[in-house]
Amino acid sequence: MAQDGNDGNIMEFYPAYCFKASPTYFSWVKMSAAMVHQLQSRPEYEGQNLFFYKNHPIRFVCVAGLIVSREDYERRTLLNLDDSSGSTLEVVIVKASSATETSTSNAAASTEEEEEQTPIPAPAGTDEINKPQLQHVSASTKQSIPDTDTLTVGTVAKLKGTLSRFRNSMQLVLERFTILRDPNAEVRFWDERTRFLVDVLSVPWSLTSGEVAHLRRLADQEREKAAEERKRVAERQLRHAQREERHYHRILRRWEREEKRREKEAEAVARANAQFMEVVAAYKKLRHVR
């Protein structure tokens, strides 16, 4: 259990098995762009797209603001969101065809070549017909995200997604969105975001030793269940392999018995044919003598 200090305040960074008790781990955490850029990563969770606000583990974020730029590339669309918090946030929308599996890690980070290239124009002409049809999809579920063409410059939207870091800058990888056509909707979002910040995020997450022990026991039980399930799966696979092996040997023995029977039948036929030929030869010889 790691500890960290900030302005004299000690925060406990709990093990991963405690995260299920966190008020933020399974939630769409309403944040501003400036708050997203304040999120920190920890070495023990490197590559898991898990970040921390104080000691709150955060995977899913919800932001709202004005789209100030949009750039379409071959494999992704990049939006820039300004929510008047003093920072802007880059939003990545992944593109994929129905036959293409795009991993979250590849979706989250733009390559240097794609960053430096000129945005592709809208498809025009007959040459585009033969190209694979790409669509915007959720990076985690690979499900299509419809109506992303409404996310244009000047649109106010509420965006939900997972987090990633690219070139030491935070990105939001889009999962779903809502266009905020009512100005009051954005104001309500600000109010909900502020209340969540005051009530939850501004206070370090704390668990008692009893709660940690209980969560550890639950984690141990889950690991034991997973180990038992893996053992059952291995036993089923072993029984299946043994059954297949028995069937193979049974079929092989049957084939060997039938092969021996065929050989005996062939020998009997050969003897009968030889006897028949002897009779024919004797008959011909008798006729010739007469």
Same domain, 137 and 255: no
Same domain, 44 and 57: yes
Report the candidate in 195, 165, 162, 198 with the shortest Cα–Cα distance to residue 60: 162
pLDDT > 70: what percent of the chain? 84
Q: State the CATH number of the domain containing residue 124.
A: 2.40.50.140
Same domain, 103 and 168: yes
Residues 134-150 pLDDT 10s = 889 888 888 899 999 99
d(CA 97, CA 7): 49
Report the candidate in 150, 9, 154 with the shortest Cα–Cα distance to residue 93: 150
Ramachandran class of 82: left when φ > 0, alpha when ψ lies in -120 to 50, beta otherwise: beta
What integer best gives the mean pLDDT of the chain? 84
Q: What is the mean pLDDT of residues 129-133?
A: 62
Confidence bin at 251 (pLDDT 50/70/90): very high
Q: How many domains does the chain have?
A: 2
d(CA 91, CA 102): 17
Same domain, 13 and 104: yes
d(CA 199, CA 193): 10
Confidence bin at 83 (pLDDT 50/70/90): very high
Same domain, 116 and 215: no
Examine the fold and report which residue of 205, 228, 245 is the final residue of a domain before the chain moves on: 205
Neighbours of 196 (CB within 10 A): 18
Domain residues for the domain of 231 are 208-290
pLDDT of residue 44: 86
Residue 279 has pLDDT above 60, yes or no: yes
Same domain, 169 and 259: no
What is the pTM assigned to this prediction? 0.67
Report the candidate in 175, 179, 174 with the shortest Cα–Cα distance to residue 156: 179
Examine the fold and report which residue of 187, 205, 223 is the final residue of a domain before the chain moves on: 205
Same domain, 38 and 15: yes
The more confidently predicted of residues 168 and 40 is 40
Same domain, 171 and 117: yes
Same domain, 270 and 130: no
Task: Give alpha helix (H) positions in the chain.
Answer: 33-38, 104-108, 112-116, 183-196, 209-289
Same domain, 190 and 222: no
Report the candidate in 148, 215, 171, 200 with the shortest Cα–Cα distance to residue 33: 171
Confidence bin at 112 (pLDDT 50/70/90): very low
d(CA 82, CA 91): 11
Examine the fold and report which residue of 152, 174, 205 is the final residue of a domain before the chain moves on: 205
Same domain, 218 and 200: no
